[in-house]
């Protein structure tokens, strides 16, 4: 009985850390900006890693609300961040089903594919709709940094 109580306490602590860290990064985006560090991808990475531990409809609802909060905070179109976050949750669940939580390299490949796919789609959208060119070097540095961060976090945590 004591072992089950300690597992429950660990899950509560993990939930608290996840939501606190997520909301902290989400709220500091308005103050701290960096061209080489896209916080939207970092938040996607946090959700991707979180997909290992829990899958619940309440988590999907909370992530959707976090996305709406970010959209209101940064002035994005409503639903953009929610779809972005839910994409990484879905991608994390798919990678866990494929890898059976045994190999973290397969998870990193899935994450790298997802980040690359979103970056390409975002670049195509900005070019054709708004006629804006994205600096490829900054984008590649950002993608490589996020993938290395994913590699480090998946291996150590």
pLDDT of 66-95, one tens digit each?
999 999 988 888 888 999 999 999 998 888
pTM for this one?
Answer: 0.86
Domain that holds residue 20: 2-156
Sign of CA dihedral 115, 118, 122, 123: positive
**How many structural domains is the chain composed of?**
1
pLDDT, position 9 = 64
pLDDT, position 113 = 94
Burial class (CB in 10 A: 0-12, 13-18, 19+), 20: exposed
Over the chain (157 residues), the average pLDDT of each successive run of 10 is 60 83 88 77 88 74 91 88 92 85 80 92 90 87 90 78
């Amino acid at each position: 009985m004591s072992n089950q109580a300690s597992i429950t306490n660990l899950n509560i602590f993990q939930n608290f850390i996840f939501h606190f860290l997520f909301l902290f990064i989400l709220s500091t985006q308005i103050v701290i900006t960096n061209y080489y560090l896209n916080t939207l991808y970092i938040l996607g990475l946090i959700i991707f890693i979180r997909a290992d531990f829990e899958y619940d409809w309440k988590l999907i609802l909370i992530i959707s609300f976090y996305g709406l909060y970010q959209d209101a905070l940064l002035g994005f179109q409503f639903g953009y961040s929610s779809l972005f976050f839910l994409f990484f949750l879905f991608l994390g669940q798919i990678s866990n089903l494929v890898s059976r939580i045994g190999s973290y390299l397969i998870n990193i490949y899935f994450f790298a594919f997802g980040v690359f796919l979103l970056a390409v789609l975002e670049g195509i959208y900005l070019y054709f709709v708004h006629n804006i060119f994205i600096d490829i070097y900054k984008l590649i540095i950002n993608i490589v940094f996020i993938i290395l961060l994913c590699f480090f976090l998946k291996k150590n945590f």
